[in-house]
Structure 1
Amino acid sequence: MEKSKFEVIIIGGSYAGLSAAMALGRSLRKVLVIDAGKPCNRQTPHSHNFLTQDGKTPAEIASIGRKQVEKYDTVTFLSGFAVDAKKTNSGFEIKTEDDKVFEGKKLILATGVKDIMPEIPGFSECWGISVIHCPYCHGYEVRNEKTGILANGDFAFEFGKMITNWTKDLTLFTNGKSTLSQEQADKLATKGVHVIETEIMSIRHTVGKLEYLVLKDNSKFPLNAFYSKVDFVQSTAIPSTLEIELTDHGHIKVDLMQKTNIPGVYACGDSTTPFRSVSYAVSTGAMAGVASNKELIDEEF
């Protein structure tokens, strides 16, 4: 069976993937974008801190981007999930879950990450709505409101210090015995940050809007916003299959041109950085598109 051939295959058609596709479409490259249609911020009601797009829904931003990229007739979109990838003599072979196979000279991974939610009832329903990860994305909207942080140890101290910029009504929940040093606890206390070690039993909410935490001692703690940094894994096994190097924190390791350690493979967006924002995804996607096009030019010249 003859395989469809492209110059660049992009896996992931959200903000980073669309940005890479635009750069490549404008470079006259034959591109395939394989998109499963499940961006990690799909539950978030509004996107912020992105110049010209501030306050729009993530879906609206993605829809505008998709329509703009579709104007470039060398870019093809495929709805599906890429499940396998292998290196070939001419580039890469990508297989989708419905057994379609495509060949590309270059590969761009814009696959994002899969968040691993803590086993707290109500947490996942509030994720991205009132349980939030980034003050630059959401902090302004909950400024000066009753706010909590779910964290412990050194990270809790640094994160707590940061959030005091947006609110003075702040409580740190360590969800078990605190591992803060005494010096850290004392410093937080001087800034009015109260530390609660009692474990969290559940989060009560209305359609994702937090009302209060229920603690293990059956007490209730009202909150308007709750910050948390959740664990994650790469959303696809393809980085592992291709033996792409990850950072100590589990992100795809890239250089300033978004190149991975595997020649011909680029990565961009949330899969490559702890700084998860639409604006950053767009910028890294643009770089991956430009860099992969430059590599093709060098090889063809």
Structure 2
Amino acid sequence: MDDVIIIGGSFAGLAGALQLGRARRKITVLDTGLPRNRFAAHSHGLLGHDHKAPSDILAAARQQLLRYPTIRMVNARADSVTGAADNFSVLTDDGETLKSRRLLLTYGVSDQLPAIPGFAECWGKSIVPCPYCDGFEVAGLHWGLVYSGPQSMHAVTLFGDWTDHLTLFADGHDIPADLRADLARRKVAVVDGKLIAIAHDNGKLATVNLDTGHHVAVDVLFAHPRNRPSACLHEKLGLDIIEHPLGHTVKTDDRRETSLPGIYAAGDLANPMASVTLATSSGAMAAIFAQQSMLV
């Protein structure tokens, strides 16, 4: 029996594996090899790894974990989880049944990209969600922002640290008069109409095309499509969740434990603030708390 099975082998999962391996705990990491940021050429803001390809960072991490004899990496998907603390059973998609005392869920979320021609091709290249991740590289250029609800107004104020040339695309939303007045005060142009296509050259955005017939050129487009967890184990387990404007996350306490004893969660699955740094930190902390929960 493992001490911990980690379901999800990206930044949060591998950070947790490192802590548990160093504590000489026996663990298995299940991973499907589809991290959320696989569309990005570079990862930014991670100390010591700034501007490196996320795939390279993960590959180096997996290589480093090889020196810990109690860590086993398995390329498989967890299909179901049963049992309770000290006696969990995980069934994988290749038919293997694994048992563990604790579980750490780090399978992240996947972005639900809109069916707009050109959007997927630009995602992670010239259509991005996070200024902390990609803002520095495009600072001072003409930014576009797709309005997704009142929460977009926070982005408008935030973006001022990177650019003073911002266009807001209403994308069919009815933006209230008071918000339009605030946008005008901030010298943010508002373009009405719904997005119907993204013109691009091999992922480099050229224009945002609208159903009004207008084609608006911007250098980069910030968008926040809805997301959903990359697996549904938390639903099958009945874990408490927290709803957010763009999706939901698994609810955890200060020790990263979910509503079911013995099950911990970390990374984007448990935090709507998507960040490699935050995912790595929460994965490490969840693993430490899981390890401490097994001390006699």
Q: What interval of TM-score do these two structures reach, taking the shorter chain for normalisation?
A: over 0.9
Distance (Å, rounded) in 2 between the aligned partners of 1:35 and 1:89: 22
Normalization by structure 2: what TM-score? 0.96
Of 267, 285, 289, the match for 2:265: 267
| CA gap 1:271/1:177 in 2 versus in 1, 3 angstroms | closer
Contact 2:85 2:261 in 1 (8 A): no
Instruction: Kindly state the Cα deviation for residue 152 of structure 1 after the two structures are TM-superposed.
Output: 4.2
Distance (Å, rounded) in 1 between the aligned partners of 2:87 and 2:261: 9
In the other structure, the counterpart of 1:117 is 113
Distance (Å, rounded) in 2 between the aligned partners of 1:119 and 1:208: 16
Distance (Å, rounded) in 1 between the aligned partners of 2:38 and 2:132: 18
SS of equivalent to 2:242 = coil
Instruction: Kindly state the Cα deviation for residue 200 of structure 1 after the two structures are TM-superposed.
Output: 1.0
Of 236, 243, 246, the match for 1:241: 236
Distance (Å, rounded) in 2 between the aligned partners of 1:38 and 1:64: 16
Of 234, 250, 253, the match for 1:252: 250
1:201 alignment partner AA: I
In the other structure, the counterpart of 1:144 is 140
Instruction: Kindly state the Cα deviation for residue 89 of structure 1 after the two structures are TM-superposed.
Output: 7.1
Instruction: Kindly state the Cα deviation for residue 156 of structure 1 after the two structures are TM-superposed.
Output: 2.3
2:12 alignment partner AA: A
Give CA deviations for 1:109-165 in whole Å, capped at 9, x if unaligned. Answer: 010002111221111221111111111111111111111000144222221121122
Contact 1:161 1:188 in 2 (8 A): no
Of 261, 279, 286, the match for 2:284: 286
In the other structure, the counterpart of 2:220 is 225
Instruction: Kindly state the Cα deviation for residue 88 of structure 1 after the two structures are TM-superposed.
Output: 4.5
Instruction: Kindly state the Cα deviation for residue 289 of structure 1 after the two structures are TM-superposed.
Output: 0.9
In the other structure, the counterpart of 1:8 is 4
Instruction: Kindly state the Cα deviation for residue 232 of structure 1 after the two structures are TM-superposed.
Output: 1.1
Normalization by structure 1: what TM-score? 0.94
Give CA deviations for 1:17-61 in whole Å, capped at 9, x if unaligned. Answer: 000000000001000000100001001011111111110010111
SS of equivalent to 1:129 = coil
| CA gap 1:89/1:267 in 2 versus in 1, 3 angstroms | closer
Structure 1 gaps of 5+ residues are none
Please provide the CA RMSD for this pair: 1.3
SS of equivalent to 1:145 = coil
Distance (Å, rounded) in 2 between the aligned partners of 1:100 and 1:21: 20
In the other structure, the counterpart of 1:194 is 189
| CA gap 1:89/1:132 in 2 versus in 1, 3 angstroms | closer
Alignment of 1:59-78 (within 5 A): 59-78=55-74
1:277 aligns with 2:272: no
Aligned residues: 293
1:205 aligns with 2:200: yes
Alignment of 1:24-173 (within 5 A): 24-88=20-84, 90-173=86-169
Distance (Å, rounded) in 1 between the aligned partners of 2:123 and 2:270: 21
